[in-house]
Amino acid sequence: MLGNKSEFADLVKERVPDITTKHCVLHRHALAAKTLPSHFKEVLSVCVKVVNYIRGRPSNHRVFKVFCEEIGKKVEAFKKKLSLWKRRIQGGNVGSFPTLDEKQGDKPIKPMLVENIVAHLSLLETTMAQYFPMDHTFPELIQQPFLADMDGDDDLKEELIDLQVNQTGVRQNSVHYR
């Protein structure tokens, strides 16, 4: 990592005055970590170690990827089950709740209990939808940043324009070998 005291950027700017210098993501991370409270630094340190461990070994990365896909499927199944359980309990069917079913026996379920369970399931549905949205569509800006329309009122507009111009320049100045 080159700090601001190495003067490397200044040496480059002497040769190429129009160059723009920025810290890479890792350097930004290191700079941001310097100002974090100690308890956040500890958490960040553990997270970085875990990510490095997983990403640093291809077998760990493959296993972790499979694990995440399996968890994702289970989360989607759980979200779908919530609406099913809600409909069942509204109809007086407590079969989805074995402990309640056992305690309830043949007695009809009390309306107040149904309301409480439905309210809880509705809240759980809303929370799960917020944390794990099903809509995985992304705006054109994310999908095709070099082709996105620039007429919107977007905070990232300037950076996107820079990317588009730089990408066009790279394509025009690059040599293709076959």
Determine the Cα–Cα distance for residues 158 and 22; give it in Å rounded to an integer.
Answer: 16
Residue-level pLDDT at 23:
59
Quick: pLDDT tens for 31-85.
777 787 888 888 888 888 888 888 888 888 899 889 988 998 898 899 999 999 9
CA angle, 93 as apex, 90 and 99 as ends, to 5°?
A: 115
Region 92-109: mean pLDDT is 91
Determine the Cα–Cα distance for residues 90 and 49; give it in Å rounded to an integer.
Answer: 47
Residue written as token pair 């705006």: 139
Residue-level pLDDT at 133:
79
pLDDT of residue 93 exceeding 70, the answer is: yes
Query: How many Å separate Cα 53 from the centre of its chain?
Result: 19
Structure token digits, residue 133: 């949205």
Residue-level pLDDT at 135:
62
Determine the Cα–Cα distance for residues 101 and 98; give it in Å rounded to an integer.
Answer: 5
Residue written as token pair 């002497």: 14
Residue-level pLDDT at 166:
64
Residue-level pLDDT at 145:
59
pLDDT confidence tier of residue 175, bands split at 50, 70 and 90: very low
Q: How many CB atoms lie within 10 A of CB 117?
A: 19
CB 85 within 8 A of CB 96: yes
